Chain A
């Protein structure tokens, strides 16, 4: 697939703004997800920040480029995978003899490091992945209803 034919440059200021802020949105969102256990923020907030890259891509390059860059079916499957991962990590507490969402492997790593606090870290990552893919899919779904003539602007 040649993406060069699908690239349609819109207003140069909007395109430069999207180019400038898209890497920051992705990196900052992923950092908020990864350090959600030891810093302010968390999975939900970081997922929403990272999924704002999708709308920046639409503002800069239009819907066809956005659809070529992000696979919507993969996003939909990724959301289900995140939900299943959360349930599976919550079930570890049940198998280990506690409550359903009990922090089972709680004594791994040193307190304050990224990988510590047992399943809390992994559950935070699962929720972050789920929200990232889910909100990106929702934005693509809503933008696709605007019609293809939006690319002509």
Chain B
């Protein structure tokens, strides 16, 4: 009975996933696609001076701030296209929960695992102390 219920749930889930992928994929906004945006990360890595600034560090005056006029990095793409793709005015929240959602999931499961492990260990330690007191 339990196996049948699990199998039925898996089949329904798989069917919903396949239907969603075939029907909804064209209407779905892609979070970040480097090929459509036209930014090559390897080109940026080779020419890293132009990543943050339009000016060469040797040419700028002393004390001048290195602010870019036309930033073209991945960070600027995220900042400029964030509102239209996730509708979140805070740029950090979609990075934590959307762009790097796996990272947050792993972080919170590390906490869950640590608390469960320490609960098991410390519970046994307390029981052992009580047994030692009885003896």
A-to-B contact residues, CB < 8 Å: 36-40, 42, 44, 76, 79-80, 82-83, 86-87, 90, 94-103, 106-107, 109, 111-112, 116-120, 123-124, 127, 130-131, 134-135, 137-138, 141-142, 144-145
Contacts and interface: CB of A to CB of B under 8 A. Distances in A.
Nearest to A94: B17
A22 B14 CA distance: 48
17 contacts: A79-B115, A83-B109, A86-B105, A95-B13, A96-B28, A97-B20, A98-B31, A99-B31, A101-B105, A120-B88, A120-B97, A123-B97, A123-B101, A123-B104, A127-B104, A131-B111, A134-B115
Contact of B93 (A94, A107, A117): A117
Contacts of B97: 101, 103, 119-120, 123-124, 127
Contacts of A97: 17, 20-21, 23-25, 28
B108 A86 contact: yes
Contacts of A138: 115, 118
B111 A106 contact: no
B55 to A, nearest CB: 31
Which among A76, A97, A109, A127 has the greatest number of chain B C-beta atoms within 10 A? Answer: A97
B44 interface: no
Interface residues of B, number: 39
Given A38-B90, A100-B102, A142-B122, 17 more contacts: A44-B108, A87-B105, A100-B101, A101-B97, A101-B98, A101-B101, A101-B102, A102-B98, A107-B87, A111-B83, A111-B87, A117-B87, A120-B86, A120-B93, A120-B98, A137-B119, A141-B119
B96 interface: yes
Contacts of A141: 115, 118-119, 122
Contact of B89 (A82, A112, A144): A112
